[in-house]
Amino acid sequence: MPAGSPAQSFHDEPSPAFGHEVLVTGAAGFVGSHLCEALLAQGHRVMAIDNLSTGDVGHLDRLLGHKGFTFQRRDVCLEVTPAMERATRIFNLACPASPAHYQQAPVDTVLSSVLGVWRLAEMAQRTGARLLQTSTSEVYGDAQCHPQHEDYWGHVNPNGARSCYDEGKRCGEAMLMAYRQERGLDVRIARIFNTYGPRLRPGDGRVVSNFIVQALQGEDLTVYGDGRQTRSFCYVDDTVRGLMRLMDGEHVGPVNIGNPGEHTMLDLAERILVMTGSRSRVVHRPLPQDDPRRRCPDITRAGELLDWRPEVSLEDGLQRTIDHFRDVLGARSVTVA
């Protein structure tokens, strides 16, 4: 299907029964699809676009019959359509988010992070819409500050294997702040930390999905380096709630959206082995280039400005995610030790 061909056309006229007319880019992605559901549940009308380079339109199947939802297959780097210009609020999630995806398409990753953001900023300036940019904890790079707070400038390799994503997102933030300072654009910037939950996809390169799939299929769990590097894991419902709080509030950001619980890769692997009952082994592989050693958000700003904090425990979130992958893989049970 060509990039501009609609899977379902935008409606000709907005319904007065709904709240905001909301545009969600990257809507068929993991976080984007959950966000669309939450917005519809709040009574908003959602215009969803995605070029499906990494998204899955199947994530939106349950929404396609909803009278407040429309979907169009379109690249955010292309010209905007008149229907998109009806949006009063824009959530921009259009960018590959996992290393496995963005390292395979570094040019497209930079373009979506820069050209795509520019197109949306130009549109929002014309229409007066509020634009929320989903930035990332990767702007902090291999941080020398711990936990990472929003005033930390980061420690990023501009020419490394991850730079297309890291520096692309940093440039996206810089562009929107420039539009705000020079042209008064109404912007919000969220820095999302590791998010997990149902609709992660097998083979997407994210550590939670990798470990769960490997455990359910009886494969070795691949840990890079010594496994002592840390990450924090925020359940997708909590991440979506944080994004919506930021959009609804009057604080520009950047604001960290993540769970401050810090876990080593070895701890995560052992938890998943126990929870799945898998007999898989943990094996070690060389650490990838520029892989951050520690990653944990300082969410003081989110708590004070948005009254937001994560609510789903790692144990509960992992169980929901494991159940999802059992369904996806048809792995209703595994051989226990």
Residues labelled catalytic: 165
User: Quick one: DSSP state of residue 60?
Assistant: G
Amino acid sitting at position 108: D
Which of 191, 195, 224 minimizes the C-alpha distance to 208? 195
Q: What does the CA dihedral 57, 58, 62, 64 come to, rounded to 10 degrees?
A: 30
Structure tokens at 284: 């070690």
Structure tokens at 222: 């691949």
Judge whether 334 and 215 are in contact, CB under 8 Å: yes
Angle, alpha carbons 81-86-92 (nearest 5°): 75
Partners of residue 131 on adjacent β-strands: 90, 187
Judge whether 95 and 116 are in contact, CB under 8 Å: yes
25/238 Cα distance (integer angstroms): 19
**In terms of DSSP H, where are the helices of the chain?**
30-41, 99-102, 106-127, 163-183, 207-216, 236-248, 265-276, 300-306, 314-329
2 by Cβ neighbours in 10 Å (0-12 / 13-18 / 19+) ranks as: exposed
Judge whether 260 and 299 are in contact, CB under 8 Å: yes
279/281 Cα distance (integer angstroms): 7
234/329 Cα distance (integer angstroms): 23
